[in-house]
Amino acid sequence: MLLIRPIVASDLNALKQIAIESGHGFTSLPNNETLLSGKIEKAENSFSSDASTPGDQSYLFVLEDTGTHEVVGITGIEACVGTAVPLYHYRLETINNQCASLGVNKSINTLTFCDDYAGASEVCTLFVREEYRKQKVGQLMSRVRFLFMANHPQRFSNKVIAEMRGVSDSEGNSPFWAWLEKNFFGIDFPTADYLVGIGNKGFISELMPKHPIYVSLLSKEAQAVIGQVHANTKPALRLLEKEGFQFNNYVDLFDAGPTVEIPLQDIRSIRESQSCQVQVTKTAEISKVTETAQAQQSYFICNDQVKNFRAIASTEASYEIDNNLLIISQTLATALLLKTGDYVRFLCL
């Protein structure tokens, strides 16, 4: 059984392994034990908090194989970004120059340094170990964040963003950063990426060009990757696009990967999920209901708790529309820390 739950201190070794496997460009998981331990501590404090507004909370969820007790995936939400520490981007813009006397019209693309996303919530840190990338596990790890946000909207901003990993090679070299490194920074991409991951962002404001950059002046290789995602990130982007996230011409400073955004209430999983009470019963009784419906429906279900949040995908459930009641098996109830009468949120898969 695959169970999604909040991260805890005992998950540190698993998180270290995931940080290694995620590779260069996965800025939110630096390969640094002290920092990873700090991320876990912050997440534990966030889940334990009684937050009524979005603030400096960071929610990390892990995917656990309950058969082996192995952590095989991670996903997260930052409640409010860009306030305590700026969240810098490039804004891709177009300048239209005209010369009426010569009959010349020229459109010029520029990249402008900005921090326009201050105050937004961010979904981030989605990674599933390779052997578990099947049976829509990545989809569940993406969508679980939205079920949690639907249950606790007061903890999050009205605008939600996701920064997508840009193009880089197996050695961690970014064509976009190569141009910036040569002209402005003098440090390689893995080093810059690591510095951001450990929270050392001062060099960005000190060395980044303050005036708009003309895209046409970049190398052809750098121009080609603006707004493009890493091959390993394409599935994650497709999942977010299905949720309604859209690219609004903001890209990452280092690898030019796209940032996508959406209003919280417009997220598909939030709009389509339902909240109701549960009734715990035997698996056999659920099977009879399913046979009557002539189809076996799979559900993605979570409880409505924070610190003891649990989520799982299962066929051991049946929804009674007339009574607005979700019937679940005892096995499922135990995994989700539920009893008859408790409330859940669910999606039909």
Catalytic residue numbers read 230
User: Is residue 172 a contact partner of residue 197, using CB atoms and an 8 Å limit?
Assistant: no
The closest of 229, 195, 208 to 27, measured between CA atoms, is 195
User: Is residue 272 a contact partner of residue 283, using CB atoms and an 8 Å limit?
Assistant: no
Six token digits for residue 333: 């109830």
Residues 6+ apart with CB under 8 A from 4: 61, 62, 63, 64, 75, 140, 141, 144, 302, 310, 311, 312
What are the φ and ψ backbone dihedral angles of 227, each rounded to 5 degrees?
80, 5
| CA-to-CA separations, 263 to 138, 236, 259, in angstroms, rounded | 22, 18, 14
Residue by residue, DSSP assigns 256-308 as: --EEEEEEGGG-HHHHH-EEEEEEEE-HHHHHHHHHHHTS---EEEEES-STT
294 torsion bin: left (phi>0), alpha (psi -120 to 50), beta (else): left
> Bridge-partner residues for 261, per DSSP?
161, 246
User: Is residue 254 a contact partner of residue 196, using CB atoms and an 8 Å limit?
Assistant: yes
